[in-house]
Amino acid sequence: MDQLKMGDGPILFSRRGALATATLNLPKALNALNLDMIESLSAQLDQWADDDSVAAVWIDGSGDKAFCAGGDVVALYRGSTGYEELRRGETPDYTFTTDFFSREYRLDYKIHTYKKPIVVWGGGIVMGGGIGIMAGASHRIVTETTRMAMPEITIGLFPDVGGSWFLNRMPGRTGLFLGLTGAQFNGSDALFAGMADRMLPDDRRETVLLELAGLEFFADCERNHRQVSDCLKRLQRPPAEQPQSNLRAHYDQIQQLTDHATLPAVCRAITAYDGEDKWLQKAAATLAGGSPLTPWIVWEQLKRGRHSSLAEVFRMELVLAVNLCASGHFREGVRALLIDKDRQPQWQPATLEEISGEQVERCFEAPWSGDNPLADLR
């Protein structure tokens, strides 16, 4: 079936019959999302929602290294506030970060609530903002190359893009563990955690596209959802051919490490791990070296978001994201990881115990006057 090209640039939009496709197209940047990409994809999804000739949507990433490695943190770094500005008493400028996160979360919410089937091919790296797009899709595909994580603790942010929603819905306390440690998880882990629906061979992407494009679609969205589900089930990788799930293998140990009534006790248990398991060693080291503010936010966001609606979650996370970008921690984390690349962030305060309850509470208080910019989400 011929592919009808609908444009080029950072996102490629195409049609294969009734199947509309969007390809994130910044492979050198691992398809990281910038504001233009967010706006472009959101507008195109609106058009396809109203187009009766479109029965289903496919979203993937250009190249074989990543679906999407996250958001444009360097742009957010430029629009954030550092420790020096805070010491001088300067008032943070919330304009860019409010605009960026509110548009990104609107896109994520739109995907969660989209009536037509959305299939996301999550091969390679899927982190941060990439998980935001993938988490809400009706049909989430992983492969043997999938590497997922919410590693915001390394940059003084928090697992956003709906993390308060999907981390709370993972088995046991695996969501808390992943949020605190930023641990990477593979496609089998994603299936176990409810973050993916099918695992397919990474080299079969074009075959899967052709199969989906060749389906007999109908005017009934629910019927089309079933059509897509049946097709992907037929093509999926047998369980015997799937990689081992670290989350499943370490489930009991994760439960034990997180079985404490307070956040400091949980963090002490994880960082005190002295076994020989490389995956747990890395998770412990990442938590130990990460922002001391982020664990408090993770602990509170999961507690406060446990019974929240999806719209309430995104409103809460918008407040958190804007405030954390004005806390100094985010700017210091990005500086150490991506700007100066010394990997030696100088957190202020430097320890979990030095973070006050008042400081945490302020992160949950709206930094603007008037309504939350996502007040209209229902």
Residues 6 or more apart whose Cβ sits within 8 Å of residue 303: none
Rounded average pLDDT over 78-102: 94
**DSSP string covering 111-159:** HHT-SS-EEEEE-SEEETHHHHHHHT-SEEEE-TT-EEE--GGGGT--S
**Model confidence pLDDT, tens digit, residues 243-283:** 999 999 999 999 999 999 999 999 999 999 999 999 999 99
pTM of the prediction? 0.96
CA dihedral 307, 268, 183, 327 (to 10 degrees): 70
Instruction: For Cα atoms 349, 355, 358, give the angle at the middle one, nearest 5 degrees.
Output: 130
Task: Say whether pLDDT at 4 is over 60.
Answer: no
Distance, in Å, from the CA atom of 159 to the CA atom of 243, rounded to the nearest integer, reads 25
**Model confidence pLDDT, tens digit, residues 290-311:** 999 999 999 999 999 999 999 9
Determine the number of helices (DSSP H) and then strands (DSSP E) in the chain. 18, 11
**DSSP string covering 220-273:** -HHHHHHHHHHHHHHHPPPGGGSPPPHHHHTHHHHHHHT--SSHHHHHHHHHT-
Residue with tokens 């499943």: 248
Of 306, 312, 317, residue with least CA distance to 132: 317
Ranges 76-90, 184-198, 245-259, 295-309: which has the least confidence: 76-90
Share of the chain above pLDDT 70, in %: 98
Using DSSP, state whether 53 is helix, strand or coil: coil
The CB density around residue 54, as the number of other CB atoms within 10 Å, is 18
Rounded average pLDDT over 28-50: 97
- Tell me what pLDDT residue 309 has: 98
- Tell me what pLDDT residue 318 has: 98
CATH no. for 4-363 = 3.90.226.10
Task: Say whether pLDDT at 8 is over 90.
Answer: no
- Tell me what pLDDT residue 3 has: 44
- Tell me what pLDDT residue 237 has: 86
Using DSSP, state whether 330 is helix, strand or coil: helix
